[in-house]
Amino acid sequence: MKKSIFLMLLILASFHFQAYSQNIKGNDTTRVKLVNAAIEIMTSAGTCALITLDQEGLPRVRVMDPFKPESDLTVWLGTNPKSRKVNQIKNDPRVTLYYLAKDASGYVMINGIAELVDDLNEKEKRWKEEWNAFYPNKQEGYLLIKVNPKWMEVISYTHGIVGDTATWQPPIVLFDEN
């Protein structure tokens, strides 16, 4: 009897973990849980890594100071228009953002398409006063990067979001194509 109960619990636990390894699309409760956990991690992380591809197709990583994510997980970043990342995005707009939870209990990785935005109204709206030293001329020396998410993976032990027990594949959220 004890073996049967143990086996039943093991099977149920297996289904629970398998559900998290599926690609999630739509507005179901799993998607909402994943997006909410992602927003919490992204907001509290403070910084993220932006990965672009150079002309040889090699990944280039740098730490960035992003704005808080929008509700659809669009992410805005500021940069110098003469930076290497700008040329890399012009050459290949596919990027990855990586956020590590402040307590290292999980992460968010967003794969998306970057867009360079040089609109004065957007730049004024998306400005941090602590950047004055870095961008003394924010009209010409400051450029925005808008990352439109295509898909995202999330691990958050705090929220009970874990990967597949066999493959470690994290749950993935797919975003609608615009």
| 2-174, CATH topology level | Pnp Oxidase; Chain A (2.30.110)
Going from the first residue of the chain to its last (178 residues), give the mean pLDDT of each consecutive group of 10, the final group possibly shorter. Answer: 36 35 59 96 97 97 97 97 97 98 96 97 94 89 97 96 94 85
Radius of gyration of the chain (CA): 19
Reported pTM: 0.83
HEC secondary structure over 45-101: HCCEEEEEECCCCCEEEEEECCCCCCCCCCEEEEECCCCHHHHHHHHCCEEEEEEEC
